[in-house]
Each structure stands twice: as structure tokens, then as C-alpha cells.
């Protein structure tokens, strides 16, 4: 496979890797507190959040999987472990393990998938899987994996400076020309879905969402890409293999859907 495009100053705002697994029903907040002691040196802060809703399993022929009813004896929580700057975040709940990198300052430099994002996720997820097994809580069997890149594309004159110029930064949409009509183009919101397959076998979907937003009075393009699907095997290795594939698809899609002018600004290598 050809090398992926790389940018010295990518417009990344956040990256999230997630594994969804069969619910570990015996997992309690006390267990999660014990696990925190194993990662507390790197993630010294802890918070409790409401649990995330269930994510339907991706299936061929339908964008919506069937939600499974889960009956529990106690309320569920989602626990955050954070570093001192809030850039690194691990989230754990009874059926989900998530690791985020978040840009918290303008000078933050994206630490790269191969060098940081992937190895940190693999290390922490493997440690969690081993922890669950060592306490006799059952097994962590990955059902679905997800990788999301959240981009915030700042205005860049003279390429684009307002929502009606968005198409100059993107290649995914060119607005129709309405010359000689009492209407003028204002902005676009676009969502796309792509099937991910292994030969003829369906394994998941790639989703893209594009819309204009405003940050501190400045026009910004929100461009989020998510690859979600099932691993070939319900193991850590199978999960990492899908996450690697999802990340490759996202980077390829991002490169092909953004303009050469923006690539120059971001320092394409």
C-alpha cells in the first residue's frame, strides 16, 4: 500500500479510538477505581460522566442495527481518566473502551497515529482486558470498533473566508450555479456514507459529516470522519487491525476530499 499523506499542520481538533464489547455486567465503579491505579501516573485526574448510549452494530443492507435491551441491577457510569492538560483521555464503561487525543491549545501539535495514538491505545486497552480477566469479571470480546477524526478547518483567505466559499476548500461538493435567478448560494451541509468491505464481505461503514460553524466569530468548516465496523476476530489484535484500516480510509478520504490549496497551507508532505 502506498504511504499515506501527512500534513505538518493538520486541522485536527480531536482523534478518538473506540472498542465496543459484550457488556461486562460485573464491572463496578470500584473495579474501575482499581484499574485507575495502574494508569494514574500518566492520567492523574478522574471524572464520572453519564454513560454513552448504545451504538447499533453495523450490518449490510441497513444503516441501523438492532438495539439490544440490557437489564442491569445498578445504574451505569462512564469514567474518565485525564492527563494534567486534558489532552489525553481514557473513557471506560461496562461495554465501551475509548481513548481520545484532544487539542486544548493553539500551539498543540498532533502527536501522530503511529508514534503515539495507536501505541497508547493498544497499551491501555490490553491492560484493561488483562485487568478484567484477572478479577474474574469475564472476557472482553470486541464486537465493533470505531475511529473518528474531528477536523476544524479554519478560514484561509483568499481560498475561503465565509460559508459560501466552502467549496473552494473541499472537493466533495460544488454548488449549482443559479445565474439569472433570484437566488444565491449560501452554504452546504453534507453527509456521506461508504461501505467498508473485505472482498465481497461487508465489515462496516465510513461516515463523513461536513458543515459550517463559527468559532470566536470566525467561519470554520466542521469536517468529521468516522470508520466503524466489526473486527475479523474478537481480540485485541482484531480490534487493532480494524482501527488501522479505519484510520487509513479516513486519511485517504480526507486527502481526496480537500483541495490542493488547503494542502499547501497545512504543509502536505
Per-residue pLDDT of the chain (269 residues; tens, 9 = 90+): 788 999 999 999 999 999 999 999 999 999 999 999 999 999 999 999 999 998 899 999 865 544 444 444 445 789 999 999 999 999 999 999 999 999 999 899 999 999 999 999 999 999 999 999 999 999 999 999 999 999 999 999 999 999 999 999 999 878 887 888 898 888 889 999 999 999 999 999 999 999 999 999 999 999 999 999 999 999 999 999 999 999 999 999 999 999 999 999 999 98
Q: What is the pTM of this model?
A: 0.92
Could you say which DSSP state residue 68 is in?
P
What are the grid coordinates assigned to 162, written together?
A: 465565509
Measured CA distances, 78 to 33, 35, 93, 95, 178 (Å):
12, 14, 5, 10, 50
Buried b (16+ CB within 10 A) or exposed e, 247-263: bebbbebbeebbeeebe
**What pLDDT shows up at residue 12?**
97
- The whole-number pLDDT of residue 136 equals 95
pLDDT score at 267: 97
The C-alpha atoms of residue 269 and residue 261 are separated, in whole angstroms, by 14
What pLDDT is stored for residue 75 in this prediction? 59
- Rounded to an integer, what distance in angstroms lies between the CA atom of residue 268 and that of residue 156? 16
Cell numbers at residue 24, please? 461486562
Q: Tell me how crowded residue 40 is: count the other CB atoms within 10 A of its CB.
A: 12
Residue-level pLDDT at 54? 86
pLDDT at residue 63, as a whole number:
58
Amino acid at each position: 500500500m502506498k504511504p499515506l499523506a501527512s500534513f505538518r499542520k493538520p486541522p485536527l481538533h480531536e482523534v478518538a479510538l473506540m472498542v465496543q464489547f459484550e457488556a461486562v455486567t460485573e464491572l463496578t465503579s470500584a473495579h474501575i477505581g482499581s484499574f485507575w491505579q495502574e494508569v494514574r501516573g500518566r492520567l492523574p485526574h478522574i471524572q464520572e460522566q453519564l454513560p454513552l448510549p448504545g451504538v447499533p452494530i453495523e450490518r449490510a443492507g441497513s444503516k441501523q442495527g438492532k438495539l439490544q435491551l440490557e437489564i442491569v441491577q445498578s445504574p451505569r457510569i462512564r469514567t474518565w481518566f485525564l492527563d494534567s492538560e486534558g489532552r489525553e483521555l481514557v473513557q471506560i464503561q461496562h461495554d465501551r473502551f475509548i481513548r481520545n487525543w484532544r487539542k486544548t491549545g493553539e500551539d498543540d501539535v498532533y502527536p501522530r497515529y503511529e508514534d503515539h495514538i495507536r501505541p497508547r491505545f493498544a497499551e491501555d486497552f490490553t491492560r484493561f482486558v488483562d485487568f478484567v480477566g484477572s478479577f474474574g469479571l469475564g472476557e472482553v470480546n470486541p464486537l465493533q470498533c470505531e475511529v473518528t477524526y474531528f477536523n476544524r478547518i479554519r478560514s484561509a483567505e483568499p481560498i475561503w473566508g465565509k460559508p459560501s466559499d466552502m467549496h473552494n476548500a473541499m472537493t466533495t461538493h460544488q454548488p449549482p450555479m443559479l445565474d439569472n435567478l433570484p437566488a444565491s448560494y449560501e452554504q452546504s451541509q453534507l453527509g456521506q456514507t461508504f461501505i467498508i468491505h473485505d472482498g465481497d464481505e461487508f465489515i462496516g461503514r465510513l461516515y463523513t459529516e461536513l458543515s459550517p460553524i463559527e468559532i470566536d466569530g470566525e467561519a470554520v468548516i466542521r469536517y468529521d470522519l468516522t470508520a466503524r465496523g466489526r473486527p475479523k476476530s474478537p481480540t485485541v489484535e482484531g480490534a487493532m487491525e480494524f482501527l488501522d484500516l479505519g484510520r487509513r480510509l479516513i486519511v485517504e478520504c480526507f486527502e481526496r476530499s480537500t483541495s490542493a490549496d488547503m494542502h499547501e497551507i497545512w504543509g502536505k508532505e
